[in-house]
A and B are shown apart, each in its own frame.
Chain A
Amino acid sequence: MIVQRRALGVDVAIRVEDRCFAATLDHLLGDLGATGSSSTSGYEVTVSGYGPWAVRTPERVREALTEEGALTHVLSAVNLSAVTDTPFLALHAAVVSRGGQSLVVPARSGSGKSTLTACLLKQGWRYVSDEALALDWTTGELVGYPRPLALSPWSLAAVEATGGIPADGETLLRAGDLGAGVDRTPGPVRQVVLLERSRDEADTGVTVVDRNDALVELLSRGFTHRHNGGRALILLADLLRRADVLRLNLGHPVKAAARLSDVWEAG
């Protein structure tokens, strides 16, 4: 069975021997767009075996003794290909939308942005991505990349989410598992939120900060910005001129998401 998806403009074909495993992948990647053709050009992953599994990519072969491990290998490979080979300007950030406008949270892995994203989705926001702010190089329009969210046990408990599919040390969730819809063609960015870790869980203060802080943060989180650095500067400057830039003390993620929602509605 072949699971085909388009991830950040990259056509991905995953050939899977185990039909049960294929069905799981097909479900988890259901929010990504279809390739719309039978073409297998692009990035190819092959998963052979029924346990243990061998996950073969153009880069290497990885073995997994558990289905959870195999899922992690496949999704990591697909994500790496997406953010590396994407034809868009892609930067490491979470993106959600509401009312036709978008909120962007640029941040590194492990900063809490996926947990914050999950909380925002539970509070009525639509899912764009927990991985990449992607912009069309020509028009500057946003492109969705709604890959599954991976939450740690702590995050899952904090978000009070149920369901999902277990992977290595994490639970994989689609937006629908959090009661949210997906926005594959999000509107323009209205707010950029910079995260600051707070030791005090009650401290979820939001302050207005300089746009320069946001530009430096975005440039330090780029995946493909160096492909055409001059154009990247122009697109990001244009984005920031139209957006408010906030700094959020990320205390408890549910409270932080509620605070962001309040600020958004008040704005």
Chain B
Amino acid sequence: MSDVVGPPATWTTQIEVDGRAYVFVPSSETFLALNETATRVWRHCNGTMTRDGLVTELVSSYGGTRGEVSSVVETALHLLTSAGLLNPPARLG
């Protein structure tokens, strides 16, 4: 689990309102409203953070076990990637 997450696709426009991120997807002309969990993951998808690092960061900030948080992160990353918001993850090494 040493994959880098992100970076966001270059065309995304995002804003945050009271802890929730919103992204416009020009190709489909749709607006995506991320829930709080997906927003927390999305904030760290900068192209340098690894999945392990992301889990560590979220456990530290919000609590929970690594197993629980890892599962949430995987689900969120899958949704963000499926929506085309993330470039394919690069593999280190």
Given A212-B20, A212-B33, decide whether A229 and B15 contact each other with a Cβ distance below 8 A: no
Within 8 A of A (CB), among B27-41: 29, 31, 33
In the complex, which residues of chain A have a beta carbon less than 8 angstroms from the beta carbon of B13?
Answer: 229-231, 233-234
From residue B82, how far is it (CB to closest CB) to chain A in Å?
19
In the complex, which residues of chain B have a beta carbon less than 8 angstroms from the beta carbon of A219?
Answer: 22, 31, 33
From residue B12, how far is it (CB to closest CB) to chain A in Å?
8
In the complex, which residues of chain A have a beta carbon less than 8 angstroms from the beta carbon of B26?
Answer: 229-230
CB <8 Å contact, B31 and A233: yes
**B16's closest neighbor in chain A, by CB?**
A237
Q: Name which of B16, B31, B33 has the most chain A CB atoms within 10 A of its CB.
A: B31
CB <8 Å contact, B18 and A212: yes
* Chain A interface helix/strand/loop/mixed: helix
Bound complex: CA A240 to CA B15 (Å):
12
Within 8 A of A (CB), among B8-27: 13-18, 20, 22-26
From residue A262, how far is it (CB to closest CB) to chain B in Å?
26
Partner of B29, one of A211, A229, A237: A229
Bound complex: CA A212 to CA B29 (Å):
20
CB <8 Å contact, B18 and A232: no
A226 sits at the interface (CB 8 A): yes
Partner of B31, one of A211, A229, A231, A241: A229
A25 sits at the interface (CB 8 A): no
Bound complex: CA A240 to CA B22 (Å):
13
CB <8 Å contact, B24 and A232: yes
From residue A195, how far is it (CB to closest CB) to chain B in Å?
20
CB <8 Å contact, B17 and A211: yes
In the complex, which residues of chain B have a beta carbon less than 8 angstroms from the beta carbon of A231?
Answer: 13
From residue A213, how far is it (CB to closest CB) to chain B in Å?
10
A residues contacting B by CB (< 8 A) are 210-212, 215-216, 219, 225-226, 229-234, 237, 240-241
3 A-B pairs closest in CB distance: A230-B13, A229-B24, A237-B15
Between A and B, 22 residue pairs with Cβ closer than 8 Å are: A211-B17, A211-B18, A212-B33, A215-B22, A215-B33, A216-B33, A219-B33, A226-B29, A229-B13, A229-B25, A230-B13, A230-B24, A230-B26, A232-B24, A233-B13, A233-B14, A233-B23, A233-B31, A237-B16, A237-B17, A240-B17, A241-B17
B residues contacting A by CB (< 8 A) are 13-18, 20, 22-26, 29, 31, 33
Extra 4 A-B pairs, beta carbons < 8 Å, given A210-B18, A229-B29? A219-B31, A229-B25, A233-B14, A233-B23
